[in-house]
Amino acid sequence: MSAIQVQQAARAESRSTKEWQQADSSHFIHPFTDHGGLAKKGARIITRADNIYLWDSEGHKILDGMSGLWCVNVGYGQQALVDAASRQMKELPFYNAFFQTSTTPAIELAELLAELSPPQFQHVFYTSSGSEGNDTVVRMVRRYWDILGQPERKVIISRNNGYHGSTMAGASLGGMSGMHAQGGLPIPDITHIDQPHWFELGQGLSRDDFGLKAARWLEEKILAVGPERVAAFIGEPVQGAGGVIVPPSSYWPEIQRICDKYGILLVSDEVICGFGRTGNWFGCETMGSKPDLMTFAKGVTSGYVPLGGVMVGERIAKALIADGGEFNHGFTYSGHPVACAVALANIRLIQQLNLVSHVKHNIGPYLAERFAELDAHPLVGETQTCGMMAAVQLVKDKSSGTPFASELEVGMLCRAHCFGNGLIMRAVGDRMIVAPPLVMTRPQVDEMMTLIKRCLDLTLDELNRKGWL
Ligand code: PXG
């Protein structure tokens, strides 16, 4: 262990797990958590991490199949990122970018992001999270149409089961009914269409025919709202939190065609898909669209420190910068120098390790090959992968694709086996998903697949014992 790891271990061991759990449940309100259930069980206390592994306060080693929360693209323990933060904190821990000032890491990162992004992007607006990024998108899109003299264009179309964050605008853009049910959402002038989820909505059609049909729901919605009132469409290239829903390859080009036809802005939410996850720098490149705005966060710093933002395409940048006067929007931490310094180190590491090409040509195809083997398992209705994201849909009856009753919570049952066997795999309903660090090697994919197969078998045994099959 390094000196730092010894220090960390000493801190973790200064109290027992029970004591940490008690303090946690007395004072810490967790995101998206039922605290009654948590207080009974006690939180799992994660104390350290290295590469693709985590350790908890009981000393268990866990393979992190979710990259933290879709973000630790370069894996844990990367010294270059630690050094970048430490250097920047010593030199200039903070200065703002509001009153005609700037800082060198924010400028350098802006340059590098412009270089890596598709060519229409030469400008960035910084935030500290994906949610703030999407709030910025809503304000920017509406401001753009104001500047162009079409203030009636306010409506933003999004998708059911999309996820765009937890702020008022982020949760409104998202299509999660549980979120809309709390807090009077969505805010006005945000409306939703159905998602391009073939397994749930497209059976009976070929995937490509379904992709066209799902994209045309956008055109129907534009016509229903009135094309002169529609400002933009937003979507994740591959839905992440919704369950790794990989759209048919016909979907995004058709969405692009429809946006072009009606002159509406296209926003690609790259918070999960950005920075190599799908085998290109950005998911829109994998899916074949040419967005006007891209939201990013997570992988830009591999989650080591919070940073997010919006890449601003040329037509919006021109209006906003050249014609628009002041855009009354910004955050204290827009362009935070430490966050930007870590992002620079992270992106340079992704480049040095050739991680985007590793995902596209090596580890992504290997993950796809190994996931396809799960199709033979009696519980599996379909598998899907895209780069380093993958999903396994659990079903009651394989031949007909019949799902389990949702109240059985079969996904949660499978997730409990994953937890018990040292694997972090998420359950979204009965869809089991992973999005591991991009640095994963083939033997590590094998190790993960052994765990996944074991957990599917244990779930099958349990369902048989319970008589639920
Ligand atoms: N857009 C997308 C596509 C996301 O996945 C956000 C925006 C919001 O980012 P911030 O940084 O504000 O959280 C996200 C976040 C899950 C889960 O359950 C996914 C996210 C966050 C929390 C949980 O998979 N994604």
Summarised one tens digit per residue, pLDDT across range 149-208 is: 999 999 999 999 999 999 999 999 999 999 999 989 999 999 999 999 999 999 899 999
Contact 176 CB / ligand 1 (< 6 Å): no
> Which tokens go with 140?
């920017």
- Report which protein residue has its CA nearest ligand 1's atom 18: 241
Contact 165 CB / ligand 1 (< 6 Å): yes
How many Å lie between the centroid of ligand 1 and the Cα of residue 130? 7
How many Å lie between the centroid of ligand 1 and the Cα of residue 180? 16
Contact 164 CB / ligand 1 (< 6 Å): yes
* Domain-ending residue, one of 352, 368, 395: 352
Residues 386 and 288 in one domain: no
Contact 69 CB / ligand 1 (< 6 Å): yes
Residues 346 and 358 in one domain: no
Contact 240 CB / ligand 1 (< 6 Å): yes
CA dihedral 83, 88, 94, 99 (to 10 degrees): -130
- Report which protein residue has its CA nearest ligand 1's atom 19: 241
User: 392 and 414 in contact (C-beta within 8 Å)?
Assistant: no
How many Å lie between the centroid of ligand 1 and the Cα of residue 139? 19
Ligand 1: which of 138, 163, 301 to mutate, judged by most atoms within 8 Å of the beta carbon?
163
**Is 7 within a domain?**
no
**Tens digits of per-residue pLDDT, 107-134?**
999 999 999 999 999 999 999 999 999 9
Residues 109 and 194 in one domain: yes
Contact 130 CB / ligand 1 (< 6 Å): yes
Residues 145 and 124 in one domain: yes
Residues 194 and 85 in one domain: yes
**Tens digits of per-residue pLDDT, 329-387?**
999 999 999 999 999 999 999 999 999 999 999 999 999 999 999 999 999 999 999 99
How many Å lie between the centroid of ligand 1 and the Cα of residue 33? 15
* Domain-ending residue, one of 310, 334, 352: 352
Look-up: residue for tokens 């007395």? 26
* Domain-ending residue, one of 333, 352, 371: 352
Residue 1 has pLDDT above 70, yes or no: no
**Is 38 within a domain?**
no
Q: Which domain holds residue 381?
A: 51-74+354-466
How confident is residue 324, by pLDDT bands cut at 50, 70 and 90?
confident
- From residue 422, give the alpha-carbon distance in Å to each of 61, 65, 447: 6, 10, 11
pLDDT at position 2 is 72
How many Å lie between the centroid of ligand 1 and the Cα of residue 125? 19
Phi, psi of 348 (to 5 degrees): -65, -35
| Three-class SS of the chain | CCHHHHHHHHHHHCCCHHHHHHHHHHHCCCCCCCHHHHHHHCCCCEEEEEECEEEECCCCEEEECCHHHHCCCCCECCHHHHHHHHHHHHHCCCCCCCCCCCCHHHHHHHHHHHHHCCCCEEEEEEECCHHHHHHHHHHHHHHHHHHCCCCCCCEEEEECCCCCCCCHHHHHHCCCHHHHCCCCCCCCCEEEECCCCHHHHCCCCCHHHHHHHHHHHHHHHHHHHCHHHEEEEEECCCECCCCCECCCCCHHHHHHHHHHHHCCEEEEECCCCCCCCCCCCCHHHHHCCCCCEEEECHHHCCCCCCCEEEEEEHHHHHHHHHHCCCCCCCCCCCCCHHHHHHHHHHHHHHHHCCHHHHHHHHHHHHHHHHHHHHHHCCCEEEEEEECCEEEEEECCECCCCECCCHHHCHHHHHHHHHHHCCEECEEECCEEEECCCCCCCHHHHHHHHHHHHHHHHHHHHHHHHHCCC
- Report which protein residue has its CA nearest ligand 1's atom 16: 241
CA neighbours closer than 13 Å in the CB half-sphere of residue 232: 26
How much of the chain is in helix, strand and coil states, percent to nearest 5? 45, 15, 35
Residues 325 and 447 in one domain: no
**Tens digits of per-residue pLDDT, 238-258?**
999 999 999 999 999 999 999
Ligand 1: which of 33, 66, 70 to mutate, judged by most atoms within 8 Å of the beta carbon?
70
How many Å lie between the centroid of ligand 1 and the Cα of residue 166? 8
User: 308 and 300 in contact (C-beta within 8 Å)?
Assistant: yes
Taking Cα atoms as reference points, which of 293, 267, 292, 272 lies closest to residue 283? 272
Residue 237 has pLDDT above 80, yes or no: yes
Residues 306 and 398 in one domain: no
Query: What's the average model confidence in pLDDT over 203-226?
Result: 97
pTM exceeding the 0.85 threshold for the entire prediction? yes
Ligand 1: which of 30, 32, 69, 284 to mutate, judged by most atoms within 8 Å of the beta carbon?
69
**Tens digits of per-residue pLDDT, 264-300?**
999 999 999 999 999 999 999 999 999 999 999 999 9
> Which tokens go with 8?
């960390």
Residues 374 and 333 in one domain: no
Ligand 1: which of 298, 333, 386, 428 to mutate, judged by most atoms within 8 Å of the beta carbon?
298
How many Å lie between the centroid of ligand 1 and the Cα of residue 447? 27
Rg (CA), the chain: 22
- Average pLDDT of the chain, as a whole number: 96
Taking Cα atoms as reference points, which of 240, 334, 253 lies closest to residue 286? 253
Taking Cα atoms as reference points, which of 431, 411, 412, 404 lies closest to residue 37? 412
Which ligand 1 atom sits nearest the alpha carbon of residue 167? 12
Residues 271 and 219 in one domain: yes
> Which tokens go with 408?
């059985």
CATH of the domain at 367: 3.90.1150.10
How many Å lie between the centroid of ligand 1 and the Cα of residue 137? 15
Which ligand 1 atom sits nearest the alpha carbon of residue 130? 9
How many Å lie between the centroid of ligand 1 and the Cα of residue 57? 26
- From residue 130, give the alpha-carbon distance in Å to each of 16, 60, 114, 188, 387: 35, 31, 18, 21, 21
Contact 163 CB / ligand 1 (< 6 Å): yes
Residues 399 and 288 in one domain: no
Contact 241 CB / ligand 1 (< 6 Å): yes
- Distance CA(360)–CA(194), nearest Å, equals 29
Residues 106 and 120 in one domain: yes
**Is 376 within a domain?**
yes
Total tally of structural domains belonging to the chain = 2
> Which tokens go with 168?
């008022």
- Report which protein residue has its CA nearest ligand 1's atom 6: 165
Residues 106 and 199 in one domain: yes
Contact 345 CB / ligand 1 (< 6 Å): no
**Is 36 within a domain?**
no
> Which tokens go with 463?
């369902």
Which ligand 1 atom sits nearest the alpha carbon of residue 239? 3
